[in-house]
Amino acid sequence: MNMLDKVIAAVAPVHGMKRAAARKALKVVNSGYGNYGANLTKKTMRGWRYHGGSAKEDIEDNLDVLRQRSRDAYMGIPVAASALKTLRTNVVAGGLMPAPQIDGEFLGLGEEETEQLQNQIVREWALWADTPECDMDGLGNFYKLQKLAYLGFLMNGDAFALLPMAETSGQPYSLRVRVIEADRVCSPDGYDRLFPCTVRGHEVERIVQGVETDEDGAVCAYWVCSGHPLAAMSDRNPGLEWTRVEARGRETGRQNILHVIDRERAGQVRGVPILAPVLEALKQLGRYTEAEINAAVISAMFTVFVESAYAAEERPFGEMIPPDQLIDTQDQSSIELGNGAVVSLNTGEKVAFADPKHPNSGYDEFTSAMLRQIGAALEIPPEEMMKQFSASYSAARGALNEFWRSCGVMRDDFVDSFCQPIYEEFLTEAVARGRIRAPGFFNDPAIKKAYCECTWPGPSQTSLNPVQEVTAAIKRVEQGFSTAQEETAKMTGGNYNRNISQRAAEARRKREVDEITNPDTKEGAGG
């Protein structure tokens, strides 16, 4: 209160209180967001309970529940499985393949020499990437590892990969990739360290969800559990141990572990499952769908109940559930009905049914509305998620273009955090072993970068009208808005230069065949 308010309050307390209340109300009703999103007086906003926290409190402290619910949704809710698989298919498909783009001009290489070196790198890459030897577990090639890592990233919020070295007989390269599920990167003994302390003989500043940061907040190490934490009580895994893996080698600067993550907030060190914002909607939609299915099945069963004057001693006849398939075997008073059953009732017993009114006319409309909201949050058009293209060509094309733009952003992020670092590690080993000649590779980071330049063309975009799309691509190339290489990679995922070389070889072979099968044609042309 100011001096005037105090005087009025002393003389007339009621009027003083009214002035103070009015002043407080004016203070609450501020300008800007105070009148809208931050308003505290509107009835529509009073019930909005909120509590904000740091990235650790809002995200990382809830990750255990989010991961498990996300995996459960993937395993049991068709829409969730469709969303994750749709993203995986459109982002990485069968696996992204490198297309070396060596900066020959900077390295002083001619065009032909640059192309020969790029072709040699592709051949050497195939020796390593096309075999299961690149997988530390020995179960899949590099392209299957991509699909595994990306699906794990979507489902769990992030994914990790170790890059150990292991010699194998008959394999010219020792680089290996070991994909690690997100749960295995966790804080020792299950709790974070928020202040400097000693952990298993190491002086640490801070550990949050297995990610260790230094005094400047930079990630310096990861703590990897020897087994899956959720299996800690199993017979096969009686005890867990944690290994500290430095993010980079102290002397070489080599990446020892790759972290695939899409951060939402500054200070965040662990990723969020992509389904996190829609988990509640997915669960409710799954329950609604299950309820509708059960109701429809019950409605489809034609069951007859017979009421007699005597107690029913025989088992119901008709199509009953076999004893080995009963759900409730403990309660003898329960009866499980099958299709077309006839059941005898005791005297005085009656059966009443609620009218389920199935099929439910509002089911499709409601689920479509929910799918639109879920798809919008995940940046997936409902048509793509449900694999139903019933809209017009323009609408479907617009939706697919927006979806493809989102997939491009996701693909670039995955390439930067997983594919490209592994490719550079491979090329480093190839040069060190003398299988690839690259002068100055280890002397200058700029020279190394020039050799490591590479693109990773993704899968081709879904084509709704191939003729129109090819025509548009031709016009873009003719007007200089794009290149033949870019359009080839976009439409088919291929390589324009390789296509031209293949076409030239095919034309030569066709001429040879024509000369053999039609010798008169050659003589006539010469005459």
Q: Tell me: the pLDDT tens digits for 97-112?
A: 998 999 999 999 998 9
Whether 90 and 459 have beta carbons less than 8 Å apart is answered as: yes
Could you tell me how many residues make up the chain? 527
Three-class SS of residue 490?
helix
Per-residue pLDDT at 448: 95
Per-residue pLDDT at 80: 94
Residue 522 has pLDDT above 60, yes or no: no
Per-residue pLDDT at 296: 78
Whether 381 and 453 have beta carbons less than 8 Å apart is answered as: no
Per-residue pLDDT at 505: 84
The region of weakest confidence among 296-300, 337-341, 479-483 is 337-341
The pLDDT > 90 percentage for the chain reads: 45
Whether omega for the bond prior to residue 359 falls within 30 degrees of 0, making it cis, is: yes
Local confidence band at 307 (pLDDT 50, 70, 90 cut-offs):
low
Nearest of 367, 363, 386 to residue 292 by alpha carbon = 363
Residue 337 has pLDDT above 60, yes or no: no
Q: Is 225 exposed, middle or buried (CB count within 10 Å of its CB: 0-12, 13-18, 19+)?
A: buried
Mean pLDDT of 53-73: 92
The pLDDT > 70 percentage for the chain reads: 78
> Which of the two residues, 226 and 5, has the higher pLDDT score?
226
The region of weakest confidence among 85-89, 172-176, 333-337, 378-382 is 333-337
Mean pLDDT of 447-457: 93
Non-local CB neighbours of 187 within 8 Å, separated by 6+ positions: 193, 207, 208, 209, 210, 223
Per-residue pLDDT at 431: 96
Per-residue pLDDT at 313: 58
Nearest of 493, 511, 509 to residue 501 by alpha carbon = 509
Q: Please state the domain extents for the chain.
A: 3-50
Per-residue pLDDT at 8: 63
Per-residue pLDDT at 527: 44
Whether 426 and 126 have beta carbons less than 8 Å apart is answered as: no
Q: Tell me: the pLDDT tens digits for 393-444?
A: 777 778 888 888 899 999 999 999 999 999 999 999 999 999 999 999 999 9
**How far is it, in rounded angstroms, from Cα 473 to Cα 326?**
61
DSSP letter for each residue of 301-339: ---EEEE-SS---SPPEEEEPPGGG-S--S-TT---EEE
Q: Where are the alpha helices (DSSP H) in 415-460?
A: 420-432, 445-452
Q: Tell me: the pLDDT tens digits for 171-190?
A: 899 999 999 999 999 999 88
**How far is it, in rounded angstroms, from Cα 200 to Cα 302?**
67
| Long-range contacts, 211-220 (Cβ 8 Å, 24+) | 211/185, 211/269, 211/270, 212/244, 213/269, 217/267, 219/247, 219/259, 219/269, 220/246, 220/247
Residue 121 has pLDDT above 60, yes or no: yes
The chain-wide mean pLDDT, for the chain, equals: 83
Local confidence band at 245 (pLDDT 50, 70, 90 cut-offs):
very high
Mean pLDDT of 3-11: 64
**How far is it, in rounded angstroms, from Cα 124 to Cα 135?**
17
Local confidence band at 317 (pLDDT 50, 70, 90 cut-offs):
very low
